[in-house]
Amino acid sequence: MAKATSYVSKTADEHGIIDWTEEENSTWQKLYARQVACIKNKACDEFTLGLEKLNLPEDRIPQLDEVSKVLLKETGWQCHQVPALIGFGEFFRLLSERKFPVATFIRTTEEFDYLQEPDIFHEIFGHCPLLTNPSFANFTQLYGEIGLNASKEDRVFLARLYWFTIEFGLLNTENGLRIYGGGILSSPGETLYAMHDESVIRKELDNAEQLVDVYRTPYRIDIMQPIYFMLNSIKELDKIGKLDLLALVEQAKKLGLHEPMFPPKEQVKQTAKAS
C-alpha cells in the first residue's frame, strides 16, 4: 500500500499543534467553501449532521485534536497523524483501534482539483463527519480488525470492499440518491459525476451475493468510477458487518474477477496524449 510520494506530512509540536502556513490555510479555505456548496442536497443526512457536529473551521486547517475531541465523544474514534502513505498492516491496525489515519499535508495549488493521494482535506472533510455515526464508525473498526488478521491475498479483496463503501459508496434513499463515500464527498468532479452521469452503473449492495460482486469488481484510483454500489441506508453497514466477510472472499476467489470496465492505465495515457 505504501509507495512513493512527493508529499511530506508535517510533524506536530510537543503540544500536538501543527504550524500550517498562510498558503496552506488558504488552500483549505478554498477547498472547504467549494465542496460544501458542491455537496448540498447530495451528501447523505448522516454526513451533514456529522459535519455540523465537527464544526470544522472554514478559514484554516483544523488541528487533529480539535476533530478527535468530537469523535471521541460521539463514537470513541480519534485522528492519528501518519506519514503521507502507510502500509496495509499499519492501516488495518489503526482502524481496529478506532484511530483514523490522517496524513498531515495538504495538496499544492497545482493539484488543487485532483490529487490521487489522501491529503488532510480528503481525510478530515471526506471521512471524519461520518465517523460520528455509530453504524459507520463500528463498520470501519470491524473492517480494520478483519483486515489486520487477513492474508496478503485476502487484503487485496478487502481493499475493494473499502473502496466501494467507505471511499465511493452511495445511498439509494427515499429522498433520492445520496453520497456517503469520502472519496466522492471530497471531490467536486466525482460528486457531480457519481450523482448525474448517465453512463455510470449503480448496483445495489444489501446481501452476501452482492458483496461477493463487490469483491470481484476491479477498480482504478486515477479515473472517475464507472460503477458504484448503493446501500439503502448507513444502518445497512451493520448488516454487512455481521456477514462472514472472509468466507465471502473465498467465494470471490473461486469465481474470479469481473472483466474491468476501464482500459489499462497505459492505454488511457496514450489516448490522452493523442487527444
Interatomic CA distance for residues 57 and 261, integer angstroms: 39
3-state helix, strand, coil in the chain (%, to 5): 50, 10, 40
* Exposure letters 108-135 (e unless 16+ CB within 10 A, then b): eeeeeeebebbbbbbbbbbbbbbbbbbb
Interatomic CA distance for residues 144 and 89, integer angstroms: 9
Give the active site residue among 9, 127, 187, 236. 127
Give the active site residue among 24, 46, 123, 167. 167
Q: Is 23 a catalytic residue?
A: no
Q: List all residues 6 or more positions away from 273 whose beta carbon is below 8 Å from its beta carbon.
A: none
Give the active site residue among 9, 68, 96, 122. 122
Task: Look up cell 478559514; give the residue.
Answer: 59
Q: Is 15 a catalytic residue?
A: no
Q: Is 122 a catalytic residue?
A: yes
Q: Are 39 and 185 in contact (CB under 8 A)?
A: yes
Q: How far is CA 260 from the centre of its chain?
A: 21
For residue 109, what is the DSSP state? G
DSSP string, 125-171: IIIGGGGGSHHHHHHHHHHHHHHHTS-HHHHHHHHHHHIIIIIT-EE
Q: Is 6 a catalytic residue?
A: no
Give the active site residue among 68, 96, 135, 186. 186
DSSP string, 122-135: IIIIIIGGGGGSHH
Interatomic CA distance for residues 214 and 218, integer angstroms: 9
**Catalytic positions, please?**
122, 127, 167, 186
